Homo-oligomer: A and B are copies of this chain.
Amino acid sequence: MARWQPGAPQRLVVAAVDLFTEQGYDATTVAQIAERAGVTKSTFFRYFSDKRELLVAGQETLSRLLADGITEAPADAKPLEAVAAGLERASSAMGPANRELGPRLKAAVAASTELQERDALKSVGLAAAMTAALVARGVPDPTAHLAGELGVLAFKRGYAQWCDGERDEADGLAPYVLSALEDLRAATASLG
A189 and chain B: residue at smallest CB distance: B188
Which residues of chain A from 175 to 189 have a CB within 8 Å of any chain B CB? 180, 183-185, 187-188
Size category of the binding interface on chain A: 20 to 34
A78 CB within 8 Å of chain B: yes
Which residues of chain A from 143 to 183 have a CB within 8 Å of any chain B CB? 143, 145-147, 149-150, 153, 157, 180, 183
A31 CB within 8 Å of chain B: no
Dominant secondary structure at the A interface:
helix
| Total copies of this chain within the assembly | 2
Q: Is the CB of B184 within 8 A of A146?
A: yes
Which residues of chain A from 69 to 124 have a CB within 8 Å of any chain B CB? 77-81, 113, 116-118, 120-121, 123-124
Q: Please report the C-alpha to C-alpha distance between residue A190 and residue B143 in the assembled complex, in whole angstroms.
A: 7
Q: Please report the C-alpha to C-alpha distance between residue A146 and residue B146 in the assembled complex, in whole angstroms.
A: 10
A191 CB within 8 Å of chain B: yes
**A residues engaging B (CB < 8 A)?**
77-81, 113, 116-118, 120-121, 123-124, 142-143, 145-147, 149-150, 153, 157, 180, 183-185, 187-188, 190-192
The 7 closest A-B pairs by CB, nearest first: A78-B192, A120-B120, A117-B117, A188-B188, A120-B121, A143-B187, A117-B121
